[in-house]
């Protein structure tokens, strides 16, 4: 099997059950940015309710336990947890926020930090 076909097969296997949300190439970009000593920040935004699953997967990658980057079976290992001079990309609850826009006044925006749960504003 050619390398390109093997990568495609691995991606199909990885995403077929809906367990993973972030393409491995995004993680490869992060690794490349680190290798090239580029400073960066990441903001995940969604219109759905899948953000907690995305942040869980990002934390798997950052801690070195993501199935594509855990060092097992010849796969590369990646850690972005602050160890070995890496950027700490672990996401905790204080880094999460909901943004509310007032439907009657588009200029009125409120952010609620520490949650991904939407509540009705007064």
pLDDT tens-digit map of 34-59: 999 999 999 888 877 788 888 999 99
pLDDT digits (tens, 9 = 90+) for 14-38: 666 666 788 889 999 999 999 999 9
Alpha-carbon distance of 72 to 79, in angstroms, equals: 14
* C-alpha neighbours within 13 Å on the C-beta side of residue 22: 27
Q: What is the pTM of this model?
A: 0.73
- For residue 113, give the nearest of 87, 95, 92, 90 by alpha carbon: 95
pLDDT band at 121 (very low <50, low <70, confident <90, very high): low
Residue 6, pLDDT > 60, answer no
Angle (CA) 42 43 45, round 5°: 150
Residue 69: Cβ-neighbour burial (10 angstroms; 0-12, 13-18, 19+): buried
Domain boundaries defined on the chain: 3-91, 93-122
């Amino acid at each position: 099997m050619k390398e390109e076909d093997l990568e495609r097969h691995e991606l199909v296997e990885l995403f077929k059950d809906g367990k993973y949300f972030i393409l491995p190439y995004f993680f490869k970009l992060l690794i490349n940015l680190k290798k090239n000593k580029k400073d960066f920040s990441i903001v995940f935004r969604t219109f759905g309710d899948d953000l907690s699953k995305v942040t869980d997967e990002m934390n798997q990658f950052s801690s070195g336990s993501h199935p594509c980057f855990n060092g097992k079976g010849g796969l590369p290992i990646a850690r972005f947890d602050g160890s070995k001079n890496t950027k700490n990309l672990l996401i905790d609850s204080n880094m999460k926020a909901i943004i509310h826009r007032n439907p009657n006044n588009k200029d009125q925006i409120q952010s609620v930090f520490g949650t991904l749960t939407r509540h009705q504003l007064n």
